[in-house]
Amino acid sequence: MVVAVSLGVNIQSVLVLLTASSGIALIQEKQAVVLDLGTDYTKFGFTGEAAPRCIVRSEFWCPATRRVRRLHDYSSAAELYDNLVHMLHQLYFRHVLVNPKERKVVVVESLLTPTLFRETLAKVLFIHYEVSGVVWADSPRLCALTLGAPVVLVVSIGAKDVEVAAVVHSCVVLHALQSQPLGSHAVHAELARMLDEHNGGPLHLDDQVIEDIKVKTCFVTSRARALAWESDSPPRAARDVRYGRVTVPGRARELAAEPLFRRDHEQSSLPDAVLQCVAASPRDCRRALAAGILLTGGGAALPGLRARLAAELRQLVTQPPYCDTLHVREFKFHDAPSAANACAWLGGAVLGAGEAGAARAMPRDQFARAPRLRDWVCLLDNTPPGHPHRDHLDI
């Protein structure tokens, strides 16, 4: 009060300002948190913000074994429960320093997340940490939400898998969903093989070292150079670089990402997955999907990936079996509004900041009455109430 009088400030106005500032602080304290538990990296932060507060590896210090343990390394539901408890404790109390009881949670998940993982995560959030409510949101629709476009083809290149989903007017075309084991780990395995071959023996490099080499030295070569490498007269390789005591040859730098585009008899390459998703989508939205491709995930950050994928799509669509079913010749890509690995998290932050996201949250008392989550793969959830088979599903 003395300071206010000496400065000539009205006491009533000071009280108003203090009340307003405390109200703003109270609102900020009750912001929901957005949780994206990836296979390799976890994104965690608050709704309404443009970027996560932390992006950390999906691992924690296990006090029982006295070593660092990966979140997704588990063999039973009880082991997964303990992993999630330790991981969330690290996120809440070390990285963002908030009380989990006071905040709702927006969980960003893949459409192919195992049911055991979803239900165990729900038990940890509702029972162990006693959060007030949880919103479960799939990553394809969250990625499309960041663009505001009605039709988006989301190509997510994760750690283990590549998922291609068609989002049409905020709905995922489930029967067109494609998934292939062509994530970043496939690139890491190819890079490790080529490094061992060049250095004359197994180097036994750690996974984090392989990832660091990929991020700092590798890129996706053009389609013409990739075809030239398979011919009898290979082109001149890129410059060799040194990574510590390891020599990274130019050939490995160029061709480490080739498993994403290597075709086989089952048509399981990345361009095949994109075209198969477009072909399985409704006819009236195929051109819009081809003109609205969004690359997300940590693997999408490789330099030259977008140009190479566009060239492969333009060439592949003119060949059987796509030339007879797909009459699309133009492919365009969206620029992600954030880093490729945080695009789904940003969609969760946008969803949780609005009133619609808060309304979709499952409260803790509802989960206590019926500890079960809705799942699109379960007939109990996707069968209409009036369907004749509905009575036989109620168990």
135: β partners: 106
pLDDT of the residue at 25: 39
All domains of the chain in start order, with CATH? 31-142+342-393 (3.30.420.40), 144-182+268-339 (3.30.420.40), 184-260 (3.90.640)
The token duo for 81 is: 């429960």
Confidence of residue 394 (pLDDT cuts 50, 70, 90): low
pLDDT of the residue at 71: 94
Percent of the chain with pLDDT over 70: 91
For the chain, where are the alpha helices, taking DSSP H only?
Answer: 2-6, 11-29, 77-90, 115-123, 139-147, 184-198, 207-217, 223-230, 250-255, 270-280, 286-290, 305-316, 322-325, 343-353, 355-359, 364-369, 379-382, 390-393
- Contact (CB, 8 A) for 150 and 291: no
CA 269 to CA 182: how far, in whole Å? 8
Residues in CB range of 9: below 8 A, 6 or more apart = none
Confidence of residue 181 (pLDDT cuts 50, 70, 90): very high
Query: What is the per-residue DSSP string for 156-198?
Result: EE-SS-EEEEEEETTEE-GGG-EEES-SHHHHHHHHHHHHHHH
Q: Mean pLDDT for the chain? A: 87
Confidence of residue 13 (pLDDT cuts 50, 70, 90): very low
Angle, helix 184-198 to helix 207-217, in steps of 10 degrees: 90
E strand or H helix that includes residue 124: none
Mapped onto helix, strand or coil, the DSSP state of residue 154 is strand
- Contact (CB, 8 A) for 295 and 146: no
Mapped onto helix, strand or coil, the DSSP state of residue 263 is coil
- Contact (CB, 8 A) for 234 and 285: no
Residue 29 scores a pLDDT above 60: no
- Contact (CB, 8 A) for 291 and 329: no
pLDDT tens-digit map of 142-170: 999 999 899 999 999 999 999 999 999 98
- Contact (CB, 8 A) for 363 and 152: no
CA 311 to CA 307: how far, in whole Å? 6
Residues in CB range of 206: below 8 A, 6 or more apart = none
Residue 210 scores a pLDDT above 90: yes
pLDDT of the residue at 259: 94
CA 35 to CA 105: how far, in whole Å? 7
CA 184 to CA 298: how far, in whole Å? 8
Mapped onto helix, strand or coil, the DSSP state of residue 36 is strand
pTM: predicted TM-score of the whole model, two decimal places:
0.86
Lowest-confidence region among 24-38, 245-259, 309-323: 24-38
133: β partners: 363
Higher pLDDT, 4 or 195: 195
